[in-house]
Amino acid sequence: MLSIASVAGLYGFKAHLLHYVLFWMPTRDLLAQAQLEVKLNGIQEGKVLVVKWRKKPIFIYHRSQSIIDEERRSVNLSELRDPETDDRVKRPEWLVVIGTSTPNTTTYIAAVVEYSPKYSINSNETLKINSDEYVGFIEIANLYAVDIIVFPEAGLTTMNFPEREKLEDWTTIVPNASFNYIPCCQDIFKVSDVSQALRKISCAARSNKIYVVINIAEKELCSDEPCPRDKMFYYNTNVVFDRTGKIIARYRKTNLSKEYQFNVTTTPEVVSFDTDFGVKFGTFTCFDIYFRKPALQLTRDHQVTDFVYPTAWFSEVPFLTAVQLQAGWSFAENVNLLASGYNRPSFGNAGSGIYLGRRGIGKAIMPTITRKEILIFKVPKINIETQYTEDPYDPLKDQSQKVLLSHHQKEHDESRKKWENNIMIVNDKIRLLHDDTDIFETFPLEENITKNICQNNFCCDFRIEIAKIDPSIKYRLMVFNGHRSIPNNLVNDNVAVSSCSIIQCLNNSVSSCGSVQKSETVFNTIYITAKFDNPKTNLIMPSTLNPNLLPLNNEDWKFSVVDFFTENDRLHVTIYLNNPIDNLVTFGIYSRLFNTNSANRTSFDTINYFVMLLVALLLSRN
């Protein structure tokens, strides 16, 4: 009995003591004032020290005068959401930034780089110059507590690859993530096999504590027959480093376009990676966005909500300019997309952005002159449980929203101004490819009209009301349902597409459609509706474009999906205007149709692999 009473007494004393301990603990307002002391004399110039304060990372950056001057030149404060100058620091050589992205925060900070790489015929010089530039961008991103930064496809090597027999000097070994390899500080491979650029960027990720995504040419020794004559596989590869500089993901591009030097894997890779701020990312490259594997596998089979996307896209009007496609894909799949574009407008390469699914565009750029730019944006995390159940584009909600906007034009104008500030517009020249509009079913748009247009058993309903006509610019209603060719593409030479749209034309000829001009034609109403088969497998996107090669403001249009899985799995899709609009280039629905028969797909993947292997074999024998 005594022992039982003693135990009970001890528990009582413990509870009483805990009460007093908690009572005398500092309050939250005092904790908020808690100080952390750090010795600065141990931080070398140009280095960053990361310490923890109240479970949050603090970045202490010792800047040289040259670094301070470069940051002031390279960052346009007017483009930042919350601009601050260096005047806020007492000593400009010391910059202290708190990092706030954790698994519990509702956002993370992302950066993408629009980059125009420098080329030298010497591979080492090219890789050195561009990797040095990358390190500079990583250091700038660190100043803004960026969690993850993405660089473009071919940004280190440029797209000026030599013949295959000279390709090895431009490539590097990239071990699988399972190796837990940190190129910055581990020497498990021959020095000559691992590019100094790979090591340098690993060190930059490590010293700046940032996730870094790059694209680089990879080499892998072929050990199993059949092999190319040079006994080497070359891949177009995305590499992801974590905050320690470790390689945590490697993805080899599946859908090559005009990339005859590279191989593809036998089975398309589906790659994702986790981060310490609670977001899982998928990754793919450039032309992959136009195909089911691996992009839609990641969104639909693996429920990945955020993507890093290095690209060197060749823009094509009227549907496939870079930002237009990036925004449309992000919207259709309702995922965050961090797209970093290769900048070479004279060849048609440009376009980067941070896209927020159905929330619209965070920040994007479609430059028509050569430039380099870092875009930084606080990205809202997507809740996978409510990603599709809370559909902001319910038609009934849209009607009430339409009335609200019409009675609050001031708020709408302010929203439009804010959106335009996030989209950087440059009026100049850029080389654009053109779709073959002569094979479309078309109808000239000359007045208000309600019309049904069909092609190959696919029909689109149009209702158009025009407030003002610009006689110098023409428009056509256009419908397509069939296969289009991909020039100079070895395997994916015919892809299935369905589309309904209004397209700008330069004159009355169909072949002139796809022009990109300012237009004073004002559309009061546009309703375009179509029915699509196999909605579970197809990619169905809104497609809008203005003369600046940017999508229309999300406030000006709505995209609704109704009657899901009715009428034998037919999906009713409508895109319509919320507000009158001028300067229209493209407005419509664009769909990619995929054959998902597993036997056919496996056969296709095998054929793709062997065709690319045959090309590599032939090139290696020349």
Hey, which residues are catalytic here?
153, 253, 286
d(CA 166, CA 177): 27
Strands 148-150 and 211-221: parallel
* Contact between residue 387 and residue 402 where contact means Cβ atoms under 8 Å apart: no
37 Cβ contact partners less than 8 Å away, ≥ 6 residues apart: none
- Rounded CA gap, 263 and 276, in Å? 33
Q: Which residues pair with 337 in a beta bridge?
A: 307, 355
Category of 245 on φ-ψ map: left (φ > 0), alpha (ψ -120 to 50) or beta: left
Tokens 């346009």 locate to 76
3-state secondary structure of 107: strand
3-state secondary structure string, 301-326?
HCCCCEEEEEECCECEECCECHHHHH
The DSSP symbol for 27 reads P
Alpha-carbon distance of 520 to 552, in angstroms, equals 15
480 CB neighbour count, 10 Å cutoff? 25
Give the C-alpha separation, 48 to 230, whole Å: 44
Say which amino acid occupies 345.
P
Both structure tokens of 307: 């993507």
Number of neighbours of residue 366 by Cβ within 10 angstroms: 26
Q: Please state, in angstroms and as integers, the Cα–Cα distance from residue 242 to each residue in 65, 147, 181, 247, 378, following that order.
A: 29, 10, 11, 7, 19
Q: Is 513 helix (H, G, I), strand (E, B) or coil?
A: strand
Cβ neighbours, 10 Å, residue 567: 10
Q: What is the DSSP letter of 172?
A: B
Residue 106: CB atoms within 10 A of its CB come to: 10
CB contact at 8 A, 415 and 577: no
* CB within 8 Å of 388: residues ≥ 6 apart: 334
Helix pair 395-407, 409-422: axis angle to 10 deg: 100
Give the other-Cβ count within 10 Å of 21's Cβ. Answer: 9
Give one word for 338, left, alpha or beta, with left for phi > 0 and alpha for psi -120 to 50: beta
Q: By C-alpha distance, which of 571, 505, 515 is closest to 541? A: 571
Other Cβ atoms less than 10 A from the Cβ of 555: the count is: 18
Q: Which residue has the tokens 């208000």?
A: 448
Q: Residue for token digits 């797909």?
A: 601
Please give the order of strands across the beta sheet that includes 211-221: 247-252, 232-241, 211-221, 148-150, 107-114, 373-380
- DSSP E strands, 244-381: 247-252, 272-274, 280-283, 306-311, 316-317, 336-341, 352-356, 361-365, 373-380
